[in-house]
Structure 1
Amino acid sequence: MRLATFNILHGRSTVDGEVDLDRFAAAVRGLDADVLALQEVDRDQPRSHGADLTVVAADAMGAPHHRFVATLHGEPGLWTAATGDREPSAARYGIALLSRHPVREWRVLTLPTLRRRAPVRWPGERWPTLVRDEPRAALAAVVDGPAFTLTVVATHLTFIPGWNVRQLRHLVGQVQPLPRPLVLMGDLNLEPDRPQRATGMRPLATVPTYPVGVPERQLDHVLADGPLHVSRPAVSVDTGLSDHRALVLDVALPA
């Protein structure tokens, strides 16, 4: 089963600053993933031509089974929190999980949100800036693949140091009842070895994914719990859009 996780930056290219839906569809199609986790996904946003990017991606990869979870609704600068369970009819933004194979069960999981401003020092800045985080969520799917059943959990954690580790540990507790093998993947905003220490899960990919041009850091991860091995090593793919590379790998059960 081929897995991929991709922070799509709402489909925008950092080269020309444009969102081209055909280019986005081609990028998703080129990953050839059986199960795909997407972060920073728009629905009905003017900046992405009012498109439902989850549906665009699903059509491109041939994934009849897909879910979108809104973590925010409204246009940028006017965000209001959304639950993901009862999504608003206004413009939305969040995460998505798509599968070519049947999904036996879907589950939306909420993550703790820091309710106060926190200091964050951005790259190249001397002094930290006080920022407020946005709501975060995870989406789990129990996928019935042709050879085995796999639980896939997709998420996008905060960029606030320390709080992302707390969210990850909270998420590990939430997924305990789900079937194994289990894979947790997404933009965790954590450097390598931190996710493994926080979860006790095995990393299946050690490849830099950010920034897209000459990646120096791995912020996107795939972690496993249970009998599962990598049958094709992970690669980070420059799709021609976003500020992240997509992370792609093939997994299988042990012989």
Structure 2
Amino acid sequence: MLSANIQAGSSTRRYSDYAMRSWSHVLPAGNKLRALDQIAELAGGHDIVGLQESDPGSWRSGFTNQTHYLAERGGFDYWTHQPNRRVANVASSANALLSRFEPIEVHDHPLPGRVRGRGLLLARFGEGDAGLTIAVAHLSLGAQSRRAQLSYIAELLQQYPNAVLMGDFNCTPDRPEMEILYRSTSLQPPSCQVHTFPSWRPQRAIDHVLVTSSLACDNMRAMPAALSDHLALSVELVIPEHALRTEG
């Protein structure tokens, strides 16, 4: 399993790039397809991939649906995305899911916050309560908005015993607002903090793969996602045999 904020294929190698290379976030330049090919190679070694900041098709991506592109290049039969934020037709951003397993249902949930444009993508695999639930999120920068978003996510996920919540949380797992998840759901704090940001000198653990107590994860490690400002987070997930089983 992999979670990656791909920054729409843009390049950031130092803090000054946020100002000096800001054009790459709105213009169809900077060799984004080469970056996507590198991300696809990384993603292809996993069974389920959650993406944040995948451009669903705007001017800056050359009107390429980056999720579809990555699915094809990475060899994934199933993909879905949740466009969240659009700046005219210049730039757009989405949460996305690539999978080698067919989900039985997918839901888009807009998240609350002071600024609109954040969301939760929720996919269900397998049948009934024993099935596997995968949720992909990109939370806000502000603690107050994150608190509201985590409360909403906790309400959605508390009914699922086999669940994974992955994404860019923009906060470390020991922040006070994260306690909402741990108190209200079966999601567990990570056993270790893997630093993923900034990618050129990782100092903060703000990208997470959280699992419920019924699941187990191993070999969590950070991996470069092309030239994104985040490292991707890779993990091996141990799930009950029946969690992906479907009838028929």
Please state which band the TM-score falls in when normalised by the shorter chain.
0.7 to 0.9
Residue 97 of structure 1 corresponds to which residue in structure 2?
Answer: 97
Aligned 8 A contact 2:54 2:96 in 1: yes
Matched with 1:46 is 59
Richer in strand (by share) = 1
Q: Identity over aligned residues, as a percent?
A: 28
Structure 1 position 233, deviation (Å):
1.5
* Structure 1 counterpart SS, 2:37: helix
Do the aligned residues in 2 keep the contact of 1:138 with 1:154 (CA within 8 Å)?
yes
C-alpha separation in 2, matches of 1:237 and 1:245: 5
The equivalent residue for 2:244 is: none
List per-residue Cα deviations over 1:151-179 (Å, max 9, x = no partner): 100010111122212211211102234x4
* AA at the equivalent of 1:101: F
Equivalent of 1:187, from 168, 192, 203?
Answer: 168
**Structure 2: how far apart are the matches of 1:33 and 1:75?**
34
- Give the length in aligned residue pairs: 218
- Given that 1:8 and 1:39 are in contact with CA atoms closer than 8 Å, whether structure 2 keeps it comes out as yes
Larger proportion of helix: 2
Give the partner amino acid of 2:188. R
Kindly state the Cα deviation for residue 144 of structure 1 after the two structures are TM-superposed: 4.2
TM-score by length of 1: 0.77
Q: CA RMSD in A?
A: 2.4
Task: Give the match for residue 82 of structure 1.
Answer: none
Cα distance in 2, alignment partners of residues 28 and 203 from structure 1? 29
Given that 2:4 and 2:225 are in contact with CA atoms closer than 8 Å, whether structure 1 keeps it comes out as no
Does 244-253 or 20-29 show the bigger shift?
A: 20-29
4+ long deviations beyond 6 Å: none
Amino acid paired to 1:20:
K
> In the alignment, is the contact (CA less than 8 A) between 1:141 and 1:151 conserved in 2?
yes
Where in structure 2 are there 5+ consecutive unaligned residues?
14-20, 25-29, 242-248
- Where in structure 2 are the equivalents of 1:1-255 lying within 5 Å? 3-15=1-13, 18-31=30-43, 32-75=45-88, 92-114=92-114, 133-144=115-126, 149-177=131-159, 179-194=160-175, 196-200=178-182, 201-204=187-190, 206-230=193-217, 232-253=218-239
